[in-house]
Every structure is written in structure tokens, then in C-alpha cells.
């Protein structure tokens, strides 16, 4: 799996785990709903670290917790 899909899957997983809609995440994180939707629907495939940090704040987790999953641990090198 690539990095973009791993980020998208993690956001969706956390929304489900924390029972948050995209709009609720937007409110809690200060990230526009359109920005979140652009990440989830592939229009923005390279979200910045500041955006990811804001989303983590909305979820109430750290960046380390966001990336501490088996999926991120098994990512292949992007440049071959």
C-alpha cells in the first residue's frame, strides 16, 4: 500500500473509532471539511504535516500515535 492510502485509511479508521463525522472532525481540528474531503477522495494526495497535526489534535492523539500502526510500519519505499 502507498503512503496516501495509508493516511486516508488511518483518518477513516480514527473517525470510526472515535465516532466522528467529517464535519465533527473539521470542527474539532480547525481543518475545513473540504480539505478533509479532498484528502479522503484523492484530490489532495499529499497533505502537509501541519494539516495532519491539526487532524491529530482534533482526534485527541499525537502524530506519533497517528503513524504508529502496522500499516505505516510496512510501507514500501516510495522512490524506487
> Mean of the pLDDT values across residues 39-61?
96
DSSP string, 20-56: --HHHHHHHHT--HHHHHHHHTTS-SS--HHHHHHHH
Which CATH architecture describes the domain 3-70? Orthogonal Bundle (1.10)
Please, which pLDDT band fits residue 78 given cuts at 50, 70 and 90? confident
User: Domain residues of the chain, as ranges?
Assistant: 3-70
Cα–Cα distance, 3 to 5 (Å, whole number): 6
Model confidence at 1: pLDDT above 80:
no
> Average model confidence (pLDDT) for the chain?
95
Cα–Cα distance, 48 to 21 (Å, whole number): 21
Amino acid at each position: 500500500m502507498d503512503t496516501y492510502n495509508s493516511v486516508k485509511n488511518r483518518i477513516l479508521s480514527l473517525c470510526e473509532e472515535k465516532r466522528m463525522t467529517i464535519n465533527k472532525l473539521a470542527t474539532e481540528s480547525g481543518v475545513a471539511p473540504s480539505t478533509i474531503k479532498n484528502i479522503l477522495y484523492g484530490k489532495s494526495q499529499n497533505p502537509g504535516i501541519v494539516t495532519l497535526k491539526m487532524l491529530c489534535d482534533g482526534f485527541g492523539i499525537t502524530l506519533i500515535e497517528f503513524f504508529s500502526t502496522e500499516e505505516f510500519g510496512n510501507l514500501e519505499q516510495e522512490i524506487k
